[in-house]
Amino acid sequence: MIVKKNFNSDLGKKIRTLRKGKGLTLEQFNEIANLDLSKASLSAIENGQQQISALQLHLIAQALKTSADVLLQEAIKTGVNKTKLNKLKKLLSDEEILHLKKI
């Protein structure tokens, strides 16, 4: 499912951005967050290739000194927008879509 994939990707990007903003390596972040995950698993989360549990989301938010809703905000917004966009695209003709792509 594309929306789910984008959701995981957007969430992972947000986590990576905040982690790097704090100057933390994956190993340091894993230790601070008490996630007990391998470097590969943490990398997969940040790359949107692995889902996280509610507990992991909570621990990640705490370690980044933010809230879960801040982490989820962009991912949810993007998912909703893509769903709306897909519905709108179904209403347009191929010619109209081509015209919009040129803009």
At 22-76, the pLDDT tens digits run: 999 999 999 999 999 999 999 999 999 999 999 999 999 999 999 998 898 877 7
Token pair of 56, please? 């992991």
Regarding pTM above 0.85, the answer is: no
> Could you tell me the domains of the chain?
2-102 (1.10.260.40)
**The total number of residues written for the chain in this structure:** 103
Other residues' Cβ atoms within 10 Å of the Cβ of residue 12: 23
Least Cα distance to 46 among 80, 56, 84 occurs for: 56
Least Cα distance to 11 among 53, 87, 29 occurs for: 53
Contact 38, 3 (CB under 8 A): no
